[in-house]
Each structure stands twice: as C-alpha cells, then as structure tokens.
Structure 1
C-alpha cells in the first residue's frame, strides 16, 4: 500500500477557493473521489460537542485529519484515478501556518504515502469566498492557508499547478488535460 500512487490526484488550496466543488464535479463525471477531512471532522465534532476543532484544539484536529487522510488513502485502491479533496501534506501546511510543530509521524506519513507528483492548487478567489458555520477563516487567513499548503507540497517534492479561476467545467478540463485521466 505505501508508495507512490500516480493515479491519486490531489486538489488542494485555501478554504473557499472552489476545490470541493471541483472534486464533486469530477465525481459526477465518474471519477472516484475522496472527501475533505477538515469539514467532515468539524461537522462530527460539533455534533458530539468534541474538542477536535480548529478553534478549540488545533493539534487534535490535525491528528484526526491525519487519521482521516490515511484511511482515505488506504480505501482508494483501485485501477483508475482517484481525486482527493486535500491530502496528508495539507495538514503539514496547516500546522506550519499556525506556527505549531509538525509531528515526526506526520512527516513520515507524507513521505510514505505519496500521491501523483502534480498537485492542483485552487488559489484564493475573493469573488467566491464565503464564510459559513465550518469555514470561519477570514479571506486573509484563507490566503495564508493557501500559501502554507503550496509551500508544504513543494517542500515534499510535488509540482504544484495553480488552477485557473474559471467555471468548474473549465477547471475540470484543465485537470484532465494536465494529468492523463481516463
């Protein structure tokens, strides 16, 4: 299972940049997809009055994201491409952005469980950015998140490709044109 899975495609970026919409669109086109850890964890933790929330205990939140992403990686095995809404390296960027230490086991996970070398990053997009009950960051925080995540992927040997600020259909065509997908 560990190793490089060239058919595991990462869509990343700051909050509110349209990445989840793109992943959902690719899923509707028949691609296997994996849901983002952060939003689901926040929803679950709020539902159970848990403390693994980015505004309560960021380190515990990060640990749950690592666990979620490892599980997503393991369950994604299959013959065709799988599009991930974020990956393990996102948590490294998140912790760095907060000025928190990155645990050794997270660095090991990011080096052990590799994705396609080309990662697609949705840049901050002020015209579509919206806060909601799970996305509490300001646009400025979203921009810092994007920068930290892009830097983390580059530091881990990935080629980061910025997605165009364009309708979802154009973004999907851009991804399909940049990575050989079926």
Structure 2
C-alpha cells in the first residue's frame, strides 16, 4: 500500500480538479486526471477511444494511465494527490454496464492508495459541461454514487468533501492528510 497517495474522486463537475490545482499551489504534489487528457488526445488524433464512441477502449486507456500514475507517484516523497485512480476505471465500467475484466479488479487490489479517499459529492451549484465533460447532471450524480460504492467495496474509507469554497476545501484536505 502507498499511504502517501491520496485519491480525490467523485462525479464530473464536482470541483475535484480545481481543488487539486489549489493544493498544488500550496506545494502538494499531484497526478492529473486521465479522462480529460485521453479525450483531448483522441479528439486530436481522430481516435475512437472516447466515452461517446468506444467506452471499452476509453476504459482501457484510462487503466493504463492510472497504472502509470500509480507507479510514478509511488516513487515521490510526501503526500501526492491523485485526480482519480484505478478504482475509477472500475466505477466507470460499472456505470456503463460494461464487464469488469479480472485484470482490472486485480490491479485495484494490488495497487493500493491511502485508505482514506476524498470524494466530492454532486454539487449542482458548480456543475457545468464543456467539450470534454458531456455528462448531464443525472450521469454526474450516478457517477458519484458508483464511485462511493466501488471504493467502499474495495476497502476504502470515504471522506466526503464539504460543499464550501475551494480554499476551505483545501484546508479540509490538508488537515486530513496532515494526520497521516
């Protein structure tokens, strides 16, 4: 287990990346989200591993990204915030009603993170869509629920992020990771 790897998960548009960026400004190391970068790359190369084209191929690319992120972050000193993780791939497959390959489950059990996982609940006041985030509010809420179920099923303790400003959320996270 890598106790210094802290996952931030939840549904799309719930403030995860903004929180991580605010904490990065305070000197906390982080690993970026796979989904948005993969979408940007696939659109640029006219690929089909996109959530609106081939969800299985998209999930495979996300799994590879998350395995690499885990490996890289494991070698870093001090706390590292992970913008999603291997478990999010499992949650995504569940959300889409797609089969979860045995190797994805094995990856989630082998490549562990700190037992405390920060989860951002759906927050209507800040939710928005853009070129990469095409999910509607219903799918965003469902994603939050499936991530909570997935992380709990695989033995993680959920720490729900409060619905407060980015700065207040940053303080909340720092207080929690400082207790490790």
Please tell me the TM-score bracket, short chain as reference: over 0.9
The alpha-carbon deviation at position 136 of structure 1 amounts to 0.4
Instruction: Calculate the TM-score normalised by the size of structure 2.
Output: 0.97
In structure 1, list runs of 5 or more residues that go unmatched: none
CA distance in structure 2 between the partners assigned to 1:179 and 1:33 by the alignment: 13
Could you tell me which of 65, 70, 73 is aligned with 2:70?
73
Residues 5 and 116, structure 1, Cα contact 8 Å, conserved in 2: yes
Which runs of structure 2 are paired with 1:113-152 in the superposition (5 Å)?
A: 113-152=111-150
Alignment correspondent of 1:100: 98
Alignment correspondent of 2:40: 43
Could you tell me which of 152, 157, 160 is aligned with 1:159?
157
The alpha-carbon deviation at position 181 of structure 1 amounts to 6.5
Residues 22 and 171, structure 1, Cα contact 8 Å, conserved in 2: yes
Alignment correspondent of 1:29: 26
The alpha-carbon deviation at position 176 of structure 1 amounts to 1.3
Deviating above 6 A after TM superposition, structure 1's stretches of 4 or more consecutive aligned residues are: none
CA distance in structure 1 between the partners assigned to 2:87 and 2:39 by the alignment: 19
Residues 81 and 181, structure 1, Cα contact 8 Å, conserved in 2: no
